[in-house]
Amino acid sequence: MAQVQTRMTRQRAVILEELRKTKTHPTADELYSIVRERLPRISLGTVYRNLDFLADSGEIRRLEAAGSTKRFDGDISRHQHVRCIQCGRIGDVMDMHEAPSVEGMNVEGFSSVLSSRIEYDGICSACAGRVRGDIQ
């Protein structure tokens, strides 16, 4: 049985550092472009694998919404997200509203419910400005 690599490699450290510097909740492809400036020989597959590892280990958050591209957040503090329905941009919502507790929740056909989250939909300022500009 293969042993899981758990050490903080240089590649993993750079990916984590660059993700924590950005507030844009990048996709793996977007982060790959940023990381390549520091590690020109890194592959896209390596970025994907390390993002999955970092998310699974709780170092970062994986943002997945039905029908949209997976994004990543280097800020693991308790907060929610708002997604622009026009362009897909994601923003942080620090004014916390608690997601419903899943403790003791019974759902037919499920042995357990592990977590819940709140994600808001909206229109970002840039898209709202374009809509107003189109109307005038």
17 is in an annotated binding site: no
CATH class of the 78-135 domain in this structure: alpha beta
CATH topology of domain 1-76: Arc Repressor Mutant, subunit A (1.10.10)
Q: What's residue 98's pLDDT?
A: 67
Domain 1-76 and domain 78-135 have a common topology: no
Distance between CA atoms of residues 32 and 40, nearest Å: 10
Residue pLDDT tens, the chain, 136 long: 444 557 889 999 999 999 999 999 999 999 999 999 999 999 999 999 999 999 999 999 999 876 678 999 999 988 888 999 998 889 998 876 666 677 778 888 888 888 777 778 999 999 998 866 554 4
Q: How far apart are CA 19 and CA 3, in angstroms?
A: 26
So what's the pLDDT on residue 53?
Answer: 96
**Which segments of 1-136 are extended strands (E)?**
61-63, 71-73, 80-84, 90-93, 119-122
Map out the domains of the chain as residue ranges: 1-76, 78-135
The predicted pLDDT at position 132 comes to 63
**How far apart (Å, rounded) are the C-alpha atoms in residues 99 and 80?**
9
Residue 84 labelled as part of a binding site: yes
pTM of this prediction? 0.76
Q: Does the annotation flag 119 for ligand binding? A: no
- CA dihedral (102, 77, 89, 27) positive or negative: negative
CA–CA distance from 89 to each of 9, 108, 123 (Å)? Answer: 30, 35, 9
Residue 124 counted as an annotated binding residue: yes
* Cα–Cα distance measured from residue 68 to residue 22, given in angstroms and rounded to the nearest whole number: 20
Question: Is 127 annotated in some ligand binding site?
Answer: yes
